[in-house]
Structure 1
Amino acid sequence: METFKIAVLPGDGIGPEVTREAGKVLQALSELDSTFKYESTEFNWNSEYYLENGRMMPEDGLEQLKTFDSILFGAIGDNRVPDQISIWELIMPIRKNFQQYVNFRPVKLLKGLESPLKNDKPIDFVIIRENGEGEYSNVGGTMFQGEAREMAVQNTIMTRQGVSQITEFAYKYACDHGLNKVTNATKSNAIIHVMKFWDQVVEEVAAKNSDIAYERYYIDALAAYFVQRPESFQVVLASNLFGDILSDLGSAIVGGLGIAPSGNINPSGEFPSMFEAIHGSAPDIAGKEIANPIAQIWSLALMLEHLGRKDLHDKILTAIEALLVEKKVLTPDIGGTATTEQVGDVIVEKLTK
């Protein structure tokens, strides 16, 4: 029987609080299912570590993480450390060096939740975001600081390999899950070099998958359609920046950031993939024990599905929905008064039943 090796990085702010609850779910699953075994190792690489050591992780941090099957990540961000340090010295090196070029974000209205939209149709689609290059490329710089002619340049990098592999993943996902449409988020009417190139490569892959419908929308119109008719989408393919923005909008229409999970996926399995809630470290509520752990627990479910245990993924989602339908133990962001720990405890209780 395989024992999965899981690296846990709780991070900053509410990260440790919600990751603790995900850990309880993981432990409960191993006790309930004799076919599931895991070993977890916690790494306290965060802003506190940076303040003590001058770096976000040890020099050999990536080498240490490379030996694991998967990574469960809490959140990063602390007012004492500039974001460009905490992000570019921890999350980005993991994503880029481990070739986690897929950012996978489901947008699903779970049972028991109500959308703020006046829409009684089911909302259930995924955003597949290019995660390795695009607008989040560390290429550029500043000149003439403090002068009237001060300037800044940030370059967007898109490669044929990068665009084609994320598009191929989107079409494979659609095919494997019985879906029949892929939607391309673009802005090639105004961003005439990189986005035209993006469209060109996306449509080359689309032409090879003609059994799956293809549509293209400019990002501004697409944002409006997320609100007006979210039920019409199945797989939304987007660049790094566009996918990041659309993911937050998607979460807003199905319950908020406290619900929204994500995966940073290395499809080849050569390196570990990393799973995290998309809500960030939320320093304004850190320590208050009111953070919603559902996003992190759902991220854990995505991790287990990626490791080949869709059965455990489905059990977690069933337990989450049972809690939401019951409406007795909810955190303040979705209308309740419960603590982070109380929500985690009830999800574990639902799992055992």
Structure 2
Amino acid sequence: MNRKTIAVLPGDGIGPEVLDAALPVIEALDLPVDLEFGDIGWECWRAEGNPVPDRTWDLIGRSDAVLLGATTSKPRREALAELAPEPRERTPQYISPIIQLRQRLDLFANLRSVENYLGGGTPYRFCVVRENTEGLYAGLDWNHVPDEMWPLVAEHPNVRRSGRNGTTASVRLQTSHGLDRILRFAFETARGHGYERVTLADKPNVLRSSSAYVLERLETIAAEYPEIAYEVLNVDAVALWMARRPERFGVIVAENMFGDILSDLGGGVMGGLGLAPSANIGENGNYFEPVHGSAPSMAGRQRANPVAAFLTIGLMLEHLGFKDEAGSIQDAVRHVTRRRDRVTYDLGGSATTTEAAAAVIDACREVPHTSSAAVVTIGDELLRGDLEDSNAANASRMLGERGIPVRVRHTVGDDESTIADAISPSIGRDDVILVMGGLGPTSDDVTRGAVARALGRPLEHREEAWQGVVERLTRFGVAIHDDNRRQALFAEGADLLPNTHGTAWGCRAEAQGSTVIMLPGPPRECLPMLENVLRDGLVHIPGPPEVTTVFRRTLGIIEADAAALVDELVRESGAAVKPAYRWHYPYVDIRLGCPPHAADELAKRLDTALADYIVTAQDRTAVQELAMVLDERGLVLDVDDRLTEGVFSAELARERVTVGTERPLSVTLSGTWAGGDRTSYTGTVALTCTVRDGAGEHTGTLTVPNRGAEVTTYFAQFAAWSLTRHLTGRHSTEESA
């Protein structure tokens, strides 16, 4: 393909920021594209008296596409007041850059694509096509009614009351030329993008005569596209259904003012203008622009969402013939926005503009994403505590062992709406959504309907499952009731999962990149079924993860102090690291999720920062670590265990330590209470552990809060830790917490 030239006009406000952040995607996709930068907008007006200088028009004229960041427009009085002295003397007329581009290039069609990039709820994908040159925005708008029009309005009762000086008028202009080309553009868009319907949004119940002519032109153009259905709806009804049922639409086409309103509503439907791209296409050129505007109050703060800029670049690349690359950008945006890993504040994150853009570009480079799962367990008995929710724990373990960690778990009651609400946010966000329970034959078993609702599909009877129910009940001599028939209902198009241990079959369905698996509740039924699903490849099992976990278990430091040290270390590393902390008495566990290439260096830094507190890099206690060392070396302990009242010895016995006869060790553990004693749990305990062997003596100290009877556990773990550090040569002279 021949190289293309793109005129990049960053413009005002946040325009330069979002384009600077998003444009590296062109290089990442290795496209045969040349970028040439030009000037447009408010600063051009202030300095030169023209927001679109002649040099910019020259650049536009030799380019294949125009990418616009954002422009600022102000009323005439403010515009003239901000001019530099020299251009102010000429008193130029201020015309918005957007108006100039549309008029000079005859950009008659504005295209706004709307899609469920955030995931959750029913999938939708449609676009709004707005006519740019006619309608109520045609410029036929008067402060006082012209003489030629006065006879047409003079008899209106409000005009008679207001008089000529109190009456204004505007004309909605629509021509066969303008209507035919925008309607043909709408049908071509539907044909080229697989939309099944074109909806004309108008007001035929009020604007009867002009709307009748629009319908006449629609019928004429639609005859050229017999495979595409069309309809005419009141614009207010379209707005309602865009908000309530956006999935019903394909291409919505409207005159200028109606289209202006509906296109911004489309941005709201998809989650805000930070996600909304646009294209302006015409007879003599084009320009592509994220629709969020210049937002001057946000300029320079790195808070603007760059996603709209990425999707706008995608529209531009598709227009230039790079359809696959445009699809890659859209896929990358879905990946980032649905997982919310690096997104800006408007999507619930804390990433800067540059960080959010880097996440999309990384995804465009096909960096493998971190898989995730959601688990939803169902039953009023689980909420009441009548039954332990063992399914959630077992399913989490089974998924995690196959590289699909569980991101979120929900336990909900037997209510269809609540179940659907628990499932919907994970559709398109998590790779696997596992729903367990509520598939029996009784009226409170409502999971089937909830799953179908979340998927946006109807329930359908599946004869294969019904015959399975009948065969099993007959085999055991159990009566078959009409209620059993609900166990043969599944979301339309779902793949069935037979149940060899019961009558409740499961199913799996794909939606927005997620695999939804529905299984019965009894563990002896659902867990083998889940094992089969994972074994048989019915869900995607990821390759090597993009994230490596660095783990350290610490003792003798409180969680807040550990987090302060580690968070500073993470900031200094400059790597994309996600720290996680878990306090479980007496330990603080630290997990750092980081890119594999950064793991070794990060581990070294962590070991240096926490050298005096690290017990192990494994999920083991200090006693378990000691047991391994003693077993490896065949050592015997001579323990003065009075401080722990035998707990230390009992813990070692549970680990089945193998003892020998070489190098017996003498271990003495003592404590000094300050502000309390063994029975009044206040103050602190200063612990001392002394280890003696033939090679010498090591003493470790640690001060801990005397918080309760569980402090004895701390004593035992501290003794094991001190002894292990002595045996392995990893000890300091003093530890305190």
TM range (shorter): 0.7 to 0.9
- The aligned counterpart of 1:161 is 177
Q: CA–CA distance in 2 between the matches of 1:38 and 1:247?
A: 29
Q: CA–CA distance in 1 between the matches of 2:322 and 2:134?
A: 30
Q: CA–CA distance in 2 between the matches of 1:152 and 1:275?
A: 35
Determine which of 34, 52, 61 is the counterpart of 2:47.
52
Determine which of 292, 298, 303 is the counterpart of 2:316.
303
Q: CA–CA distance in 2 between the matches of 1:239 and 1:296?
A: 25
Q: CA–CA distance in 2 between the matches of 1:194 and 1:276?
A: 31
Check whether the contact 1:134–1:158 (CA below 8 A) recurs between aligned residues.
Answer: yes
- The aligned counterpart of 1:96 is 103
- The aligned counterpart of 2:142 is 141
- The aligned counterpart of 1:279 is 292
Q: Which amino acid aligns with 2:302?
A: E
Q: Secondary structure at the match of 2:230?
A: strand
Alpha-carbon shift at residue 301 of structure 1 (Å): 0.6
Distance 1:179 1:325, change over 3 A: closer
Q: CA–CA distance in 2 between the matches of 1:29 and 1:150?
A: 59
Task: Number of aligned residue pairs: give it.
Answer: 337
- The aligned counterpart of 2:190 is 174
Alpha-carbon shift at residue 331 of structure 1 (Å): 0.5
Check whether the contact 1:123–1:230 (CA below 8 A) recurs between aligned residues.
Answer: yes
Q: CA–CA distance in 1 between the matches of 2:36 and 2:167?
A: 45
- The aligned counterpart of 1:196 is 212
Query: What do the CA deviations read for 1:149-190 (whole angstroms, capped 9, x no partner)?
Result: 254433332211111111111112222333321111001322
Check whether the contact 2:7–2:59 (CA below 8 A) recurs between aligned residues.
Answer: no
Q: Secondary structure at the match of 2:23?
A: helix
Check whether the contact 1:276–1:296 (CA below 8 A) recurs between aligned residues.
Answer: yes
Q: CA–CA distance in 2 between the matches of 1:288 and 1:104?
A: 29
Determine which of 20, 24, 33 is the counterpart of 1:38.
33
Q: Which amino acid aligns with 1:6?
A: I
Q: Secondary structure at the match of 1:95?
A: helix
Q: Which amino acid aligns with 1:248?
A: D
Query: What do the CA deviations read for 1:20-39 (whole angstroms, capped 9, x no partner)?
Result: 12212123222xxxxx2221
Determine which of 103, 113, 117 is the counterpart of 1:106.
113
Q: CA RMSD in A?
A: 2.5
Check whether the contact 1:113–1:254 (CA below 8 A) recurs between aligned residues.
Answer: no
Q: Secondary structure at the match of 2:298?
A: coil
- The aligned counterpart of 1:347 is 360
Alpha-carbon shift at residue 310 of structure 1 (Å): 0.4
Alpha-carbon shift at residue 71 of structure 1 (Å): 0.3
Determine which of 247, 253, 264 is the counterpart of 1:248.
264
Q: CA–CA distance in 2 between the matches of 1:129 and 1:330?
A: 30
TM-score by length of 2: 0.43
Q: CA–CA distance in 2 between the matches of 1:176 and 1:70?
A: 20
Distance 1:152 1:26, change over 3 A: farther
Q: CA–CA distance in 2 between the matches of 1:60 and 1:49?
A: 11
Q: Which runs of 5+ in 1 are unaligned?
A: 31-35, 115-119
Distance 1:193 1:67, change over 3 A: farther
Establish whether residue 132 from structure 1 lines up as the match of residue 127 from structure 2: no
Q: Which amino acid aligns with 1:71?
A: V
Check whether the contact 1:206–1:214 (CA below 8 A) recurs between aligned residues.
Answer: yes
Distance 1:336 1:222, change over 3 A: same
Check whether the contact 1:47–1:81 (CA below 8 A) recurs between aligned residues.
Answer: no
* Off by >6 Å, runs of 4+ in structure 1: 80-87
Q: CA–CA distance in 1 between the matches of 2:77 and 2:67?
A: 23
- The aligned counterpart of 2:71 is 76
Distance 1:254 1:73, change over 3 A: same
- The aligned counterpart of 1:333 is 346
Stretch deviating more after TM superposition (332-341 or 190-199): 190-199
Stretch deviating more after TM superposition (77-86 or 220-229): 77-86
- The aligned counterpart of 1:290 is 303
Alpha-carbon shift at residue 241 of structure 1 (Å): 1.4
Q: Secondary structure at the match of 2:311?
A: helix
Distance 1:87 1:251, change over 3 A: farther
- The aligned counterpart of 2:476 is none
Distance 1:316 1:138, change over 3 A: same
Stretch deviating more after TM superposition (55-64 or 208-217): 55-64
Alpha-carbon shift at residue 193 of structure 1 (Å): 4.6
Q: CA–CA distance in 2 between the matches of 1:315 and 1:170?
A: 24
Check whether the contact 2:17–2:302 (CA below 8 A) recurs between aligned residues.
Answer: yes
TM-score by length of 1: 0.88
Check whether the contact 1:78–1:281 (CA below 8 A) recurs between aligned residues.
Answer: no
Alpha-carbon shift at residue 133 of structure 1 (Å): 2.3
Distance 1:113 1:255, change over 3 A: farther
Query: What do the CA deviations read for 1:185-229 (whole angstroms, capped 9, x no partner)?
Result: 001322345433323212221244333211111111111111221
Determine which of 61, 64, 73 is the counterpart of 1:66.
61
Alpha-carbon shift at residue 87 of structure 1 (Å): 8.8
- The aligned counterpart of 1:10 is 10
Distance 1:230 1:82, change over 3 A: farther
Check whether the contact 1:21–1:297 (CA below 8 A) recurs between aligned residues.
Answer: no
Q: Which amino acid aligns with 2:38?
A: F
Alpha-carbon shift at residue 304 of structure 1 (Å): 0.4
Q: Which amino acid aligns with 2:114?
A: V
- The aligned counterpart of 1:117 is none
Alpha-carbon shift at residue 351 of structure 1 (Å): 1.8
Alpha-carbon shift at residue 94 of structure 1 (Å): 1.3
Q: Highest CA radius of gyration, 1 or 2?
A: 2
Determine which of 198, 206, 210 is the counterpart of 2:226.
210
Check whether the contact 1:75–1:280 (CA below 8 A) recurs between aligned residues.
Answer: yes
- The aligned counterpart of 2:22 is 22
Q: Secondary structure at the match of 1:40?
A: strand
Distance 1:80 1:343, change over 3 A: farther
Q: Which runs of 5+ in 2 are unaligned?
A: 81-92, 146-162, 368-737
Q: CA–CA distance in 1 between the matches of 2:3 and 2:191?
A: 30
Distance 1:301 1:186, change over 3 A: same
Alpha-carbon shift at residue 333 of structure 1 (Å): 0.8
Q: CA–CA distance in 2 between the matches of 1:90 and 1:304?
A: 23
Identity of aligned residues (%): 35
Alpha-carbon shift at residue 137 of structure 1 (Å): 1.5
Check whether the contact 1:55–1:89 (CA below 8 A) recurs between aligned residues.
Answer: no
Alpha-carbon shift at residue 62 of structure 1 (Å): 3.0
Q: CA–CA distance in 1 between the matches of 2:78 and 2:206?
A: 29
